[in-house]
A and B are shown apart, each in its own frame.
Chain A
Amino acid sequence: MDIIKKKKIINIKSFFNISNFTLNFGPQHPAAHGVLRLILLLSGENIKTLDPHIGLLHRGTEKLIEYKNFLQSLPYFDRLDYVSMMSQEYAYSLAIEEITKTFIPLRAQYIRIIFSEITRILNHILAITTHAMDVGALTPFLWCFEEREKLMEFYERISGARMHAAYIRPGGVSQDLSKGLLDDIHFFILNFYKRLNDMEELLSTNRIWLYRLKNIGIINSFEALNFGYSGVMLRGSNFFWDLRIFNNYDLYNKLNFLIPVGFIGDCYDRYLIRLLEMRESSNIINFCINNINLGYIKLNNFKLINPSRLNLKNSMESLINHFKFYSEGILLNKNEIYVAIEAPKGEFGVYLNSNTKINPYRCHIKSPGFLHLQSLDFMSKNYLIADVVAIIGTQDLVFGEIDR
C-alpha cells in the first residue's frame, strides 16, 4: 500500500502567465451530499483554496420556531438532520425538561435510549454507504439500505411515520411500545451483526478503499479542537470526548459500552469508528431490551403533558387540561438553557430562551455539521479533487442541519 506523496509544484507560472483555475463543484452533483456548492481554486488537480457556499436549503427554522408553541416547534427538529431524526427531538425535549426541572419515568428513558441508538445505527449506515458510493463502491449502499428500511419500520410501528416521527416529546414519549416490538428489535439486532460483517468484508481490507482513504484528510487533535469538532470527527483524532459519558443525560451512566477512538485522524479511522459505534449501539439496544421495566411513559403532570384519552373521556379536569394543552400550549418559566447531546454526527445543541412564557423567544440550534464544513478548506489543502469527495463523505454532512 503506497503512501500518497504530495507533488512538488514546479514554479513556471510566472514565466507562462499561468493562473489558477476556478471550478464550480455545483449544488447539483451526486457526490456533493445534498446541496453544497464548492468553489474550488485549482492548480492542476490540486486544491489551493476551497470556498463552500451553503444556504441553499435554508428554511428559516429558527425564525419559524419563534412564532410557534413549544409543542408545535417539535417537528421542526425532526426535519433538521433528516437522516437521524429522533436525536434532535431528544435534545429539544431535554431542553424543555431542564427548564421545568422534571424527571421523566424510567421506562420512557429506556425507550428514548433504544430509539436514539437505533437512530445512531441509521445515521452511520447512511454515512458509510453513501461515502462508499461517492468513492466508487456501489454495493454497500444497496445491501445496507435494506437494514435502514427495517429500522424505519420500527419507527413507523411506534409513531406512525417512517422518518419524521414526532415521538420523543417533552415529558417522555408520545405513545407506548406496541406488543412484540421489542422481540422484533431483538431479532433484528441478532441478524445485524452478520450484515455488518458482510459490509466490512467488502470495504475494510479492500485495497482500493484503503488507497482512497488512508492518510486523506488528516487532522490532529489540537487543530480539531480549535475548529470546534465533536463526535466521530474528534474521536478520530485521538481525543476522547463523548457527551453520553460526560454530559450524563438520562440513563447513559448505567450502561456499559465501549467508545472507539482513532489514532491518526484520517478518513479511514473515522470509517472504522463509525463501524464500531454501530456494533456498540447494538449492544446498548440489547441491554435496554433486557432491562426495560413496565411503567409510565410520560410524566404525571397534566400541565405539561396531554392526558390520555381514557382520562379525557372520564374526568372533567382532564378535559380542561386537554383543551388548554392543545390550544394554549404549555407555560414555562422565564429561563434560558443550553442542552447538548451526542447526536450521531457530533454535538447537537439546543439553546432555548423562554422569555415570553408561551413560545420560544429564541431557539438557537448548534449543528455539528456547520463547524465540520467550515474546516473543509483547511482539511483539503493540496489534496486532489477526488480526495475532496472522500473528505466530504467522511465529514458526514447533512444540509438540513447545516442550513437549518
Chain B
Amino acid sequence: MGKWCFKFLMINEKEFSFFILNIFLIFHLIFEKIFYSNNYIIINLSNNKILNFYYYLKKNFNFLLNITLLDFWCVDYIAYLKRFELNYNFLIYNLNFRFFFKIYLKELENIFSISNIFFSSNWLEREIFDFFGINFMNHFNLRKILNDYGFLGFPLRKDFPLSGYFSLKYKNNLKKIMNEIFSLNQQFRKFFFNIWVYIFMIDTNFI
C-alpha cells in the first residue's frame, strides 16, 4: 500500500498554492464568493457561461492532475429570483481536493452543457433537466431519464406537490391505463411540531 501512495503525497504546499493562484489570477472576474476549508473549496461563479472555464480546468492540468466531475445537483431556493443553485463537485485525485462550484440561475435561463469535456455529466444533466427543467444547450441527448415515459412537470421543484398532479390508474371498464387527476380521501398532513423555528422563518421571510 505504501508503494502506491507516494505518488500522491509528493505534491507539497507550494505546488498546491501555485495551482490555486493560477486559477484565481485568470478567472477572478467570474468568481464571486469563495469558502475554503481543509479538504474542499466552495466557489460561487457569477457568469453562467462557464464552458471556457471548465475546458481550461480539464485541458490545462490534464498532464499534471487527474480531475473528474463526480457529481452535479441542483437546489431550488424558491424564495429567491435566481432560484436554481447548480452545484458541481469536482475531485482532483492527486491533491485529494474537492471543488464545489455554484451557479445561480433564474427560471428560464439556459446553461451550457459540459458533456463534451467531462463525460460523466451526460446523465447528470439529463437528471437535472428531468427533475428541475433546466435546459442544457449543446447536450446531444437531453431527454427524460428517471421519470415515467409520458410524465409532465418537474418533480423536485419546491412548488411541485409531493403527491403530484396525476395518478395512473387501470380503468376496468375501458380496459386500459389512464391518467386521472390526483385525489386523496384524506387531506395531506405535514407534521410540523417545531413552532418556534417556524416563527423565526416567517420573520426572515424565508419559507
| CB atoms of A327 and B193 under 8 A apart | yes
Chain A: minimal CB distance from B41 (Å): 12
Residues of chain A contacted by B129 (CB below 8 angstroms): none
Asked whether A351 and B73 contact (CB < 8 A) given A226-B119, A358-B194, the answer is yes
Q: A403 in the interface, Cβ–Cβ < 8 Å?
A: yes
Q: A188 in the interface, Cβ–Cβ < 8 Å?
A: no
List A residues at the B interface (Cβ < 8 Å): 54-55, 58, 60, 62-64, 67, 225-228, 230, 239-241, 245-246, 257-259, 261, 327-329, 331, 338, 340, 347, 349, 351, 353, 355-358, 361-362, 364, 366, 370-371, 373-375, 378, 403-404
| CB atoms of B197 and A356 under 8 A apart | yes
Asked whether A328 and B68 contact (CB < 8 A) given A62-B156, A226-B118, A371-B120, the answer is no
Chain A: minimal CB distance from B127 (Å): 8
| CB atoms of A227 and B96 under 8 A apart | no
Of the candidate stretches B10-18, B23-31, B145-153, the one touching chain A is B145-153
Q: B201 in the interface, Cβ–Cβ < 8 Å?
A: yes
Within the assembled complex, what's the spacing in Å between the Cα atoms of A25 and B146? 18
| Contact among A257, A375, A403 for B146, CB-based, below 8 A | A403
Q: B155 in the interface, Cβ–Cβ < 8 Å?
A: yes
Q: Looking at chain B, what size class is its interface with the partner chain?
A: 35 or more
- Identity of the chain B residue whose Cβ is nearest the Cβ of A351 in the assembled complex: B73
Chain B: minimal CB distance from A371 (Å): 5
Chain A: minimal CB distance from B143 (Å): 10
Residues of chain B contacted by A246 (CB below 8 angstroms): 8, 96
| CB atoms of A328 and B193 under 8 A apart | yes
| CB atoms of A361 and B120 under 8 A apart | no
Chain B: minimal CB distance from A60 (Å): 7
Chain A: minimal CB distance from B140 (Å): 12
| Contact among B68, B77, B146 for A226, CB-based, below 8 A | B68
| Contact among A55, A227, A228, A245 for B145, CB-based, below 8 A | A55
Asked whether A54 and B145 contact (CB < 8 A) given A241-B93, A258-B1, A349-B70, the answer is yes
Chain A: minimal CB distance from B50 (Å): 18
Q: Can you list 26 A-B contacts (CB < 8 A)? A: A54-B145, A55-B144, A55-B148, A63-B155, A67-B190, A225-B67, A225-B93, A227-B120, A241-B93, A328-B194, A329-B193, A331-B197, A338-B100, A347-B70, A349-B89, A351-B71, A355-B206, A356-B201, A362-B73, A364-B71, A364-B75, A366-B70, A370-B124, A371-B120, A374-B122, A378-B119
